[in-house]
Amino acid sequence: MTDGSTAQERPTRDRQAASEEKRRLILDAAVRVFARSGYHTSRVSDIAEEAGIAHGLLYHYFSSKEEVLATVFRENWGELLGRLAHVESSNEPADEQLRGMAKILLRSWRNDPDLVRVMVREVARSSHLNDQIEEIGAAFSTIQRVVERGQAEGVFRPDLDPRLASWIFYGGLEEILTGWVLGQLPDGDEEVARAERTIIDVVCGGLTVRGGSGS
């Protein structure tokens, strides 16, 4: 009985795995197409061609180009939130946690520049994703909690608004990524490392209690 059930379940699992693989193939192809040609000038047929699938098959997985872009954002932003949450849950001091978060965001450019191009150039400036505001806000909330904890522990100045500090911190990181995407900032390995040091020195330097007295 058990062996028969297992045998019946295996083809189902195989189909599910194949379906997920095809879905991932489409999303990866969409990132390349959007990064290369821009979201607004890209067509669903361009994505299908890049993925090496029939045009009609794409609609089996996604109803529109807009849904493809929304899915790219949702899944990759969710992964980012998970990585930020992992840093937040560590036992590192608050300033080291901010350093770790900066590294995650800035090193994403070296790890997957096409994805960063799409997230910065298409998603961040897209009118189609207003319903994702809560997910975007979750990143700011994570950073804000780290700042608040640093204030409670005497690492960061208590007189600063933690919400504003979180926006300044993330805003600085996003502008550096935008500079790389637009080709306005050098983006070699040393430049990425320098950006990490600079954002931490500027932001955490401004947050940190001066002389241990908080003033």
The pLDDT of residue 141 is 95
End position of a domain, from candidates 43, 62, 81: 62
Q: In this structure, which long-range contacts are made by residues 90-95, counting pairs with CB atoms below 8 Å and at least 24 apart in sequence?
A: 93/150, 93/153, 93/155, 94/146, 94/147, 94/149, 94/150, 94/153, 94/155, 94/156, 95/150, 95/155, 95/156, 95/200, 95/204, 95/207, 95/208
Residues 53, 1 share a domain: yes
Chain segment 158-171, per-residue pLDDT in tens = 999 999 999 999 99
Residues 155, 73 share a domain: yes
The pLDDT of residue 214 is 41
The pLDDT of residue 215 is 37
Segments of the chain scoring below 70 in pLDDT = 1-12, 14-15, 124-133, 210-215
Residues 134, 81 share a domain: yes
Residues 80, 16 share a domain: no
pTM exceeds cut of 0.95: no
The pLDDT of residue 14 is 67
The pLDDT of residue 185 is 93
Residues 57, 126 share a domain: no
